[in-house]
Structure 1
């Protein structure tokens, strides 16, 4: 058994993707043999949260603490350097196979009650390839418990690029969240007139980011971000359920000779269990669903 668990290979036309059991993660996505996303070996831990499904919250919770319906709760601190709880509870779990064919796979996880999370939730993720449009990811979550449950979701793909200084980025975001030294939001500012105004797309140059954005432009129910490289790049699209993006630039993706730009669709802001920014509350039996995807650019 590899460290990332069972490997599920999907193909459609010239597209090929590998989805892994651990974290329901996207380990690799390529078109015509060229990597669209950053990848890692099957027998390795996913570096920098590469490709992971982030439920029941994305990003960080300050000190792992929050209150819900009058109860103070404390999660394990999974980011020791900052003392935060990061990226949910499904990242290192083995998700169960539900269904698979040549071009798609569905994985499911029951997130059981535990310290700091006294709720019951069933999550499912379906990855599907199409020869024309590329990769579509559909996520669902159902509150299977008897009480209300706070919920957020996110995904962590890295788009591959030879070098950041030869990469252009377009983000449909009008507002950047201001983060403190622990990467927790403490305010916000319009991007207009700042280096973070990437709404029309431009070369990164010296700009490097680990930033959260909101006020996303959505047209006909879909928002679009682009990472353009000398070889084409890719478009990350997301439906209106994803109201935030985290963007993280990485000069050297671990174990490779490429750089990466993580464009992370998130339903809520970092620390949403405390701020309420984008937080959902699922009633008993309530089901949530949303989609996002990656389309390679010529």
Structure 2
């Protein structure tokens, strides 16, 4: 039997919910409740499309020109987005993550980031995926196991499914107070308040009015510290929450994914795009330092 293109499959079950976590990239391939897709997934015969469900580490989003200077040393990462000349979505998407622990409703996958040209630092990263009564949750952890400080950021790329609903009847809600402005290469140039603009998604807007690829920052949070975004349509929808480790959000609305006519990516990020250069949200891990952050998705 031919192995899935996303490697080993780790199926989590709890009640009528099921999620599939994958070896390649350590991300989530499918998540459904009572047979209805909450996340827009992809098949085992498909190479992960458009970073669906991927863990983006050790930086999320774009790194301008693939270059940055850290502690006085300039580094050049490989250009993975040739059209715009950027290094995009980190280094972990096409690596095989290892099982640390596994149970019926939870799995922890880990990846030791190898020092390499463009990122000569040593991190151990782990993601624990758990299905519980509140939905699918992920806790990410990064530890600097090297002898020098390391720049770090992380993002996750889940697509909320709309299951064929008319786009005009789909409402997208994102609690961010700032829109991140970008140049022609989609590198941030500043921010502006969303108040009074078409980019204000706090009260929700139809998917037909939401831009293709928007960056946001400074989300409003509840008393529990969580920011909550959602996609809703007649008879269904999905909600994504993120803790205080994630203060940036990317919204991406491609025309289609395999097996899904449309979907909406709502991406929690620990830092801004190009943070290795701007410092916006950048985490610097000293030797032995540990970073953690959590988010989750639910629907019914």
TM-score band (shorter)?
over 0.9
Higher alpha-carbon deviation: 65-74 or 178-187: 178-187
Structure 2 counterpart SS, 1:250: coil
Q: Given the superposition, is the C-alpha separation of residues 231 and 250 from structure 1 closer, same or farther in structure 2, using an over 3 Å criterion?
A: farther
1:20 is displaced (CA, Å) by 0.4
Structure 1 counterpart SS, 2:277: helix
Contact 1:226 1:234 in 2 (8 A): yes
Higher alpha-carbon deviation: 133-142 or 203-212: 203-212
TM-score by length of 2: 0.96
CA separation in 2, counterparts of 1:257 and 1:201? Answer: 22
1:75 aligned partner: 77
Contact 2:40 2:260 in 1 (8 A): no
CA separation in 1, counterparts of 2:100 and 2:84? Answer: 36
2:149 aligned partner: 148
CA separation in 1, counterparts of 2:288 and 2:209? Answer: 48
Alignment of 1:23-38 (within 5 A): 23-38=25-40
RMSD over aligned Cα, in angstroms?
1.0
2:298 aligned partner: 295
CA deviation map 1:134-160 (0-9, x unaligned): 111000000000000000011000000
> Quick check: 1:164 aligned with 2:167?
yes
1:34 is displaced (CA, Å) by 0.5
CA deviation map 1:73-115 (0-9, x unaligned): 1000011111100111111000001111110111000001000
Structure 2 counterpart SS, 1:36: strand
CA separation in 2, counterparts of 1:256 and 1:191? Answer: 34
Higher alpha-carbon deviation: 188-197 or 89-98: 188-197
1:242 aligned partner: 246
What are the ranges of 5 or more consecutive residues in structure 1 without an aligned counterpart? none
Alignment of 1:1-298 (within 5 A): 1-130=3-132, 132-161=133-162, 162=164, 163-219=166-222, 220-253=224-257, 255-296=258-299, 298=300
Contact 1:164 1:251 in 2 (8 A): no
What are the ranges of 5 or more consecutive residues in structure 2 without an aligned counterpart? none
Higher alpha-carbon deviation: 276-285 or 164-173: 164-173
1:216 is displaced (CA, Å) by 0.9
Contact 1:160 1:258 in 2 (8 A): no
1:215 is displaced (CA, Å) by 1.3
CA separation in 2, counterparts of 1:12 and 1:258? Answer: 28
TM-score by length of 1: 0.97
CA deviation map 1:213-235 (0-9, x unaligned): 00111222111001101232111
Aligned length: 295
